[in-house]
């Protein structure tokens, strides 16, 4: 009797890295301010963090996973009392939220986000060649489907110096190269 081994990979990390790479490739963030949740350096504002928060297995033995992702976008408020333009930080923050949301809602058919899923796959796999030492596990990553669930206000810092928006998406993903 033949057995099948289902790849056991950290699908959370793979997906976070692929989505972060796509946000950067789409121009909604930079390598300095956009990352997956396991990024350990302190970053200033603005910044975007991709967080895979939960997983539901795809159909039995498919090797696919359905992940819920929170895209956390943080920006800073004007806190210097000598600053008279309090709107510029808010406008910059709103623009970043809008650019990220627009990038993650790309469609070529006005029916689904297959275009976004394909672009996330491409950005994720590109990491395997651009930085193979850290991302060789990305070579077969596949985002099969992408769904928007909503979003809202995140938890701003207690001192009132920052804002956060969370965009919520689901992704049907697989660590192996499939289509």
The three-state secondary structure class of 141 is: coil
Inside any domain, residue 2: no
Alpha helices in the chain (DSSP H): 11-25, 87-103, 114-130, 132-135
Q: Rg (Cα) of the chain, in Å, rounded? A: 18
pTM, full prediction: 0.88
User: How is residue 20 written in tokens?
Assistant: 């972060």
Inside any domain, residue 1: no
Number of compact structural domains in the chain = 1
Half-sphere exposure of 128 (CA within 13 A, CB side): 14
Inside any domain, residue 4: no
Inside any domain, residue 6: no
Check if the beta carbon of residue 130 is closer than 8 Å to that of residue 138. Answer: no
Inside any domain, residue 87: yes
Averaged pLDDT for residues 25-51: 89
Inside any domain, residue 5: no
Helix axes 11-25, 87-103, angle to 10 degrees: 110
Inside any domain, residue 98: yes
Q: How confident is the model at residue 88 (pLDDT cuts 50, 70, 90)?
A: confident
Inside any domain, residue 145: yes
Averaged pLDDT for residues 22-48: 89
Domain that holds residue 124: 11-174
pLDDT tens for 108-135 read 999 999 999 999 999 999 999 998 888 9
Cα 125 to Cα 179: distance, rounded to the nearest angstrom: 13
DSSP code for 5: P
Check if the beta carbon of residue 77 is closer than 8 Å to that of residue 89. Answer: yes
pLDDT at residue 74 greater than cutoff 50 = yes
Residue 53's pLDDT is 92
Residue 165's pLDDT is 92
Percent of the chain exceeding pLDDT 90 equals: 58
CATH assignment at residue 103: 3.30.70.1700
């Amino acid at each position: 009797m033949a057995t099948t081994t289902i790849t056991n990979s950290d699908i959370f990390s793979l997906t976070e890295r692929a989505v972060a790479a796509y946000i950067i490739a789409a121009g909604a963030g930079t390598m300095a301010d956009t990352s997956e949740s396991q990024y350990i350096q302190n970053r200033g504002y603005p910044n975007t963090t991709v967080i895979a928060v939960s997983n539901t297995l795809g159909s039995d033995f498919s090797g696919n996973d359905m992940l819920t992702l929170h895209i956390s976008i943080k920006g800073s408020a004007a806190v210097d009392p000598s600053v008279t333009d309090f709107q510029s930080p808010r406008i910059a923050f709103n623009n970043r939220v809008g650019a990220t949301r627009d990038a993650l809602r790309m469609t070529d058919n006005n029916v689904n986000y297959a275009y976004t899923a394909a672009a996330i796959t491409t950005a994720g796999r590109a990491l395997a060649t651009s930085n193979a030492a850290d991302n060789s596990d990305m070579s077969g990553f596949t985002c099969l489907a992408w769904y928007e669930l909503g979003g809202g206000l995140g938890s701003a810092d207690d001192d009132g110096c920052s804002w956060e928006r969370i965009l919520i998406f689901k992704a049907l993903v697989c660590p192996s190269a499939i289509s």
